[in-house]
């Protein structure tokens, strides 16, 4: 039976033997725990039937792959080498990003400098929500407009840029909310003043979008997507966007090119030769 002891032992195996990061370990442990609650004893036959049902479901591709990987690690932990097949990854398209005008409307809907500063960092840097929550005062270089992302996705550090407009907003924010170098830039607005969390960020962006009368679904990650799309529409090269977003593979960044419709049409019409 699955229990706390089993979770700890499996987690230790993933950490020590497989060298996985804590957040990945936690995800795989919880995935196997959920499957165990659904199918009971984790035998290969039951797991194979579960994977068959999972692959026929409407769950996202990443969810299916993560579940399959978690079970493969589980069987390896039990001394069995099991490898499930992988479905072909669907070609994705980034939909419903925010235009420059819509993001401007969100800035106009901010009620104070704290809200403007939070939106500015998200909109101008393209950081992931979890990276945003870990930004400290010392990570911002106000002379070079650089932002240090420590232990980002894949536990990698990187430098990215923000605009002069973003820096000016942050200067005003720090004048109102002074910070020591090691202080987090953003804390919760309640009386406990805790480190900002991704769940709070989702609520904040949802409220801003509603104030700005944006009908589409708006969430923190859409500002990351929108930065990439809006930079491409302005003529930015794909490698600059790759470095700004912290992608490990250029193929990930190329997804944004595949998602452009109107922008590519304008580019084509600009450079298309005239034959008649």
Q: CB burial class (10 A; 0-12, 13-18, 19+) of residue 5?
A: exposed
Per-residue pLDDT, 226: 92
Q: What is the mean pLDDT of residues 91-117?
A: 91
pLDDT above 90: residue 238: no
Count other Cβ atoms within 10 Å, centred on residue 32: 24
Q: Helices in 40-127 by DSSP H: which ranges?
A: 44-55, 61-77, 100-108, 113-125
Model pLDDT for residues 156-207, shown as the tens digit of each residue: 899 999 999 999 999 999 999 999 999 999 988 776 678 888 889 999 999 9
- Mean pLDDT throughout 114-142? 95
Separation CA 174–CA 4 (nearest Å)? 44
Instruction: State the Cα–Cα distance between residues 256 and 259, nearest whole angstrom.
Output: 5
- Check residue 69 and give its pLDDT: 96
Q: At what angle do helices 113-125 and 220-233 cross, to 10 degrees?
A: 60
Mean pLDDT score across all residues of the chain? 88
Classify domain 4-77 by CATH number.
1.10.150.130
What is the fold, at CATH topology level, of the domain defined by 100-269? hpI Integrase; Chain A (1.10.443)
Q: Identify each DSSP E strand in the chain by its residue range.
A: 140-141, 146-149, 158-161
Burial of 206 (0-12, 13-18, 19+ CB in 10 A): middle
Provide the residue ranges of all domains of the chain, joining segments of one domain with +.
4-77, 100-269
CA-based nearest residue to 135, from 145, 143, 127, 126:
127
Q: Does pLDDT of 130 surpass 60? A: yes
Cα separation, 2 vs 21, in Å, equals 22
Task: Provide mean pLDDT across the span 203-226.
Answer: 94
**DSSP-derived 3-state class of residue 141:** strand
């Amino acid at each position: 039976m699955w229990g706390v002891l089993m979770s700890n032992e499996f987690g230790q195996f993933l950490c020590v033997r497989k060298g996985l990061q804590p957040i990945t370990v936690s995800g795989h442990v919880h995935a196997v725990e959920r499957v165990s609650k659904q199918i009971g004893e984790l035998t290969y036959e039951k797991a194979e039937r579960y994977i068959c049902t999972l692959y026929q479901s409407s769950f996202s591709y990443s969810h299916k792959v993560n579940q399959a990987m978690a079970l493969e690690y589980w069987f390896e932990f039990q001394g069995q080498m099991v490898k499930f097949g992988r479905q072909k990854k669907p070609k994705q398209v980034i939909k419903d990003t925010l235009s420059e005008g819509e993001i401007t409307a969100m800035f106009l809907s901010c009620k104070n400098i704290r809200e403007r500063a939070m939106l500015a960092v998200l909109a101008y840097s393209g950081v992931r929500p979890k990276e945003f929550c870990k930004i400290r005062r010392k990570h911002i270089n106000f002379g070079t407009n650089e932002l240090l992302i420590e232990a980002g996705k894949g536990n990698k550090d990187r430098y990215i840029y923000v605009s002069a407009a973003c820096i000016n907003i942050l200067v005003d924010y720090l004048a109102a909310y002074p910070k020591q170098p090691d202080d987090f830039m953003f804390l919760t607005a309640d009386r406990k003043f805790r480190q900002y969390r991704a769940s709070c960020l989702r609520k904040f962006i949802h409220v801003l979008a509603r104030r700005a009368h944006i009908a589409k679904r708006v969430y923190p990650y859409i500002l990351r997507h929108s930065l990439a799309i809006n930079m491409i529409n302005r003529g930015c090269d794909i490698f600059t966007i790759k470095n700004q977003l912290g992608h490990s593979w250029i193929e990930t960044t190329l997804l944004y090119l595949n998602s452009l419709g109107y922008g590519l049409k304008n580019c084509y019409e600009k450079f298309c030769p005239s034959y008649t």
